[in-house]
Structure 1
Amino acid sequence: MAYDSDLDDNFMLDAEDTMDEDSDLDIAESASSIGDSDNDENYVENDMAFDGAFSEKPQMKAYEVEFSVQSTDHLMRMQDKEIEQVSTILGLSNEDSATLLRYFRWNKEKLFERYMDLPEKVLRDAGVSQQQQNKITVLAKDLPQQPFMCEICCDDDPEMETVCVACGHRFCRGCYEHYLRQKIREEGESRRIECPQDKCNVIVDEKTVQRLVDSQTNQKYRTLLNRTFVDDNDYLRWCPAPDCEYAIECHIPSTSLTSIVPTVQCQCSYKFCFGCGVADHQPAICAIVKKWLKKCEDDSETANWISAHTKECPRCQSTIEKNGGCNHMTCRKCRHEFCWVCMGPWSEHGTSWYNCNRFDEKSSADARESQTQSRVSLERYLHYYNRYANHEQSARLDQDLYHKTEKKMEEMQKTSDLSWIEVQFLKKAVDVTVQCRMTLKWTYAFAFYLAKSNETAIFEDNQRDLEMATEQLSELLEKPLEREKIAQLRQNVLDKSVYVKQRREILLEDTAKGLLDGRWNFM
């Protein structure tokens, strides 16, 4: 919280009227060096707490969820905290507590419940030895009255070092180290590395592994333990972005995935669904996404022609290739303007006659009489898939627009008095366009399974408004730069970007509330 200097001065003046000279000096020194003493920190903290009592948290939107990004170091601290808590309550060592937690997949409540009922059985099943002895024993030389031969390499050299854990099964140190390296480096095991003895399920604890293996193997062992910690925890998930080492913590139970789309964003800026790990697919819930992707995969042969990059001009039948994200097409031969998605006249796409996003049931009524039901079903699927695939393709083509935009930003900076910061509006506008195209893509998967109702018409109206605004913004971004119109272009792009973001929020807010209220019925 920012510190108010006027409040500071008033505080000092009031203190001078009510305290002695020594106290005045202490308060003045404290006020002149805020943050340098414990008293000052308490003052600031109390001040923040006072303000926080009356301030309201920013209200989350219906389609947003609470989450936090966790680094590798923080994940290790989380594990240590859980282990320390179990160790304190059950009176076990940290190593045994860690083994128990990993056996119960970090479910402390289940661990405590089972342990209180049958402690010996729980320890035995988890692989924790009940023998009260050192967890690792390394001897330079066995006693003469205790002859030893390693059961792995059959070496009986009395000078060799031997190793055993609490179960008492002893092997030579070389074989034990090789066994651990193979388990960690080749098999990728960390959570349940058992004693090398046949049919012994006692777990080799972390301290033993750390003492025996080299630093590189130990580092991989720690990494694998972090992996299992996240994989076993229902409220943690690794970010699926390439080479990303962050995990997301989100307390959304799997039972809520029928009414919530838990979209999260990692520190690396990658957005994905916490429920299924797929890239952001709002507003469609995970079950719909899974069914839609499977259907698209099964019908891929039928939909091959849809993914083609060429179409015929509706007027002169000339072959046209789409090489940009904008769907406003102009035939070079006859100058006919049409929509790449529905192939209808573009003049209707900026008016109330815009119906590109809706599947026209009436137009296919005659077809139902002459065609089989399967053909009608296929026709409906192709309608939605065509628009789904088109927005996906447009989003990919808009990625190329980033390179063009950077050049346009440099040109705009040279030909006008705008600074580099001021021309960033172009890049942000491209970000908005790509984000909205991905949202529109999944609205068609959502609409495909949506049963017709009065609520459906509202959804399609919101879908239409967002689609129209996104196309208009995309068209603005692809316009050639004219020096005398830079100021006007900047204002138009800023206004349209704000409007497009608002339309996206309205659509997502309405669909999210509909899911929570149970308004949507799916086929």
Structure 2
Amino acid sequence: MDSDEDFDYYDAGDDEEDDLSLRDDADDDDEDEGYLDDNIIVSEAPHGSETKDEEVYPHECLSADRIVDLMVEILKEVNDIVNIPPTTLRILLAHFNWDKELLLEKYYEYDGNQERIFKEAHVVSPFKMKRSNKSRDVSCEICCSSCSSSFMTGLDCGHMFCKGCWSQYLRTKIMDEGMSQTIPCPAFDCEIIVDDAIVMSLISDKKVRLKYQHLMTNSFVECNSLLKWCPSPDCHHVIKVEYRDRRAVKCDCGREFCFECSESWHDPVLCVHLKKWLKKCDDDSETSNWISANTKECPKCQVTIEKDGGCNHVICRSQTCKHEFCWVCLGPWDPHGASWYNCNRYNADDAKKARDTQQRSREMLQRYLFYCNRYMNHLQSLKFEHKLYARVKRKMEEMQQLNMSWIEVQFLKKAVDVLCQCRQTLMYTYVFAFFLKRNNQLLLFEDNQADLEKATETLSEYLERDITTASIRDIKQKVQDKYRYCDSRRSVLLRHVHEGYDKEWWDYLD
């Protein structure tokens, strides 16, 4: 074992209707994909010394069917307290973003005037006398055709439409406008919401029914602060937590992400800083920085100019300007005369300001490039390291043919897991450091960062160069010692950062 492993830079001390008509045509192909070795983000349960963010964060992965069950559970809980029909209750819950406590609070706050809560949710009170149409033939308010009452239907608001018009109306709202829980009555200026029982009874097209179900479940998940869709493409699972926090959660598909912002798990950087960083990397802000650092503006017309020759006598090429100035001090060229190179004679305030602005732009660009290059380097290395899983799998099979048990060869996969964890942590440490002002705690952080980076590179080298069957016993010891050390150093670094968050050690740049 390396001698540098002996010390730390930092040592931190009801009826059938209740079962939701949405359950019909539920997603049948929602299957767990299991663990995939070639996922970009691979992270097993934390081992070694645990940091604050690596403590157990209780969460579970829900399928589409389980989401519907959860909706039914909430409906039954509320219905046990207030005797409201399930279809009406669903609309009320949707109005209050499925916050049952808020719904009950408002319901009893309006005690004696419950009509108000139903009006606000755009639903007819179930305690109100329903309008009835006793005539045999009724005229559709859309197509104006006279139909038998058996071919007509409507909401409690009393507006009646033929089933054909209803079907076309609902199809348009669902497929073209993406509406589900807030589809209004087709009548002009009527805001009464169409309940899901009406929708499911009038829509026969399986594609439309499935889209409606997905929109309803998606709306339920988006409204609930304790639920979050897995961000992986084509994954239809939802993560449910007991309380909201910036913690890592892992979907059954293998994707690990931050529950707060849905980005790949980014410890130790905060969500707000990661968002700024990704925006900075994606937009054209750094193109503007490059322009600011490598070009200057004409002092007269502010046209951007790039110097392409050695002479500092610059003539603006704008047809309406033609201003002559010195590239060094940005002052007019005339005072320079024969001593054009002696710019210290020109000390006007505007020239000094221009030079200072230019220097700041260069420094900002260099600082950004420093951290961005190291961030991108670890990101690229992380992608390359995941190719090691295929090589390691083959090597583990070879070792088992040399009379080594399956358990004995697991150290190789464990080493790659730790290597990927360290790469991912190091990648985000540069984002973290980019937003910090320099102080003693940052210097300590950089020492921990450097030690982890050095150990990670050594482990990567072992796995890429030394996986041979010739001296497997020696290699096994070296790899085990190094990945344990890497894991320890990673925990030390993260503990320091989290303690800094708790004790407000970190000063951020404006």
Q: Same fold (TM over 0.5)?
A: yes
**Is the 8 Å Cα contact of residues 61 and 251 (structure 2) preserved in structure 1?**
no
1:67 aligned to 2:67?
Answer: no
CA distance change for structure 1 residues 516 and 136 in 2, over 3 Å: closer, same or farther?
Answer: farther
1:300: Cα distance to partner? 4.9
Residue 191 of structure 1 corresponds to 181
CA distance in 2, matches of 1:230, 1:163: 31
Aligned ranges 1:301-316 → 2 under 5 Å: 301=287
CA distance change for structure 1 residues 490 and 172 in 2, over 3 Å: closer, same or farther?
Answer: same
**Is the 8 Å Cα contact of residues 136 and 208 (structure 1) preserved in structure 2?**
no
Residue 85 of structure 1 corresponds to 77
1:456 aligned to 2:442?
Answer: yes
Residue 371 of structure 2 corresponds to 384
User: Deviation digits for residues 83-128 of structure 1, max 9, x if unmatched?
Assistant: 2222232321121111111011112333233332352222012121
**Is the 8 Å Cα contact of residues 237 and 247 (structure 1) preserved in structure 2?**
yes
1:468 aligned to 2:454?
Answer: yes
Report the TM-score when normalising by structure 1: 0.68
Amino acid at match of 2:225: D
**Is the 8 Å Cα contact of residues 63 and 509 (structure 1) preserved in structure 2?**
no
Residue 157 of structure 2 corresponds to 167
1:480: Cα distance to partner? 4.8
User: Deviation digits for residues 37-80 of structure 1, max 9, x if unmatched?
Assistant: xxxxxxxxxxxxxxxxxxxxx99741236231241333222212
**Is the 8 Å Cα contact of residues 261 and 283 (structure 1) preserved in structure 2?**
no
Residue 21 of structure 1 corresponds to none
SS of aligned partner of 1:237? strand
Off by >6 Å, runs of 4+ in structure 1: 133-137, 368-371
CA distance in 1, matches of 2:495, 2:289: 32
RMSD of the alignment, in Å? 3.0
Amino acid at match of 2:122: G
CA distance in 2, matches of 1:105, 1:502: 44
1:282: Cα distance to partner? 0.6
Amino acid at match of 2:271: C
CA distance in 2, matches of 1:369, 1:204: 64
CA distance in 2, matches of 1:111, 1:159: 36
User: Deviation digits for residues 326-354 of structure 1, max 9, x if unmatched?
Assistant: xxxxxxxxxxxxxxxxxxxxxxxxxxxxx
**Is the 8 Å Cα contact of residues 134 and 165 (structure 1) preserved in structure 2?**
no
User: Deviation digits for residues 368-416 of structure 1, max 9, x if unmatched?
Assistant: 99982322222222221111111011111212222333333333334x2
Amino acid at match of 1:441: M
CA distance in 2, matches of 1:232, 1:90: 22
**Is the 8 Å Cα contact of residues 177 and 212 (structure 1) preserved in structure 2?**
yes
Residue 429 of structure 1 corresponds to 415
CA distance in 1, matches of 2:129, 2:256: 48
- Counterpart pick for 2:399 among 396, 412, 421: 412
SS of aligned partner of 2:403? coil
1:293 aligned to 2:293?
Answer: no
Tell me how many residue pairs correspond in the alignment.
391
Identify which of structures 1 and 2 has the higher relative contact order when contacts are C-alpha pairs closer than 8 Å and 6+ apart: 2
CA distance change for structure 1 residues 238 and 370 in 2, over 3 Å: closer, same or farther?
Answer: closer
CA distance in 2, matches of 1:303, 1:432: 37
Structure (1 or 2) with the greater helix fraction: 1
CA distance in 2, matches of 1:126, 1:480: 67
**Is the 8 Å Cα contact of residues 122 and 191 (structure 2) preserved in structure 1?**
yes
- Counterpart pick for 1:120 among 115, 121, 144: 115
Residue 469 of structure 2 corresponds to 483
CA distance change for structure 1 residues 476 and 148 in 2, over 3 Å: closer, same or farther?
Answer: same
CA distance in 1, matches of 2:205, 2:407: 47
- Counterpart pick for 1:244 among 221, 235, 238: 235
Report the TM-score when normalising by structure 2: 0.70
Q: Which moved more, 1:196-205 or 1:86-95?
A: 86-95
Q: Any stretches of 5+ residues in structure 1 without a counterpart?
A: 1-57, 254-259, 305-367
- Counterpart pick for 1:445 among 419, 431, 440: 431
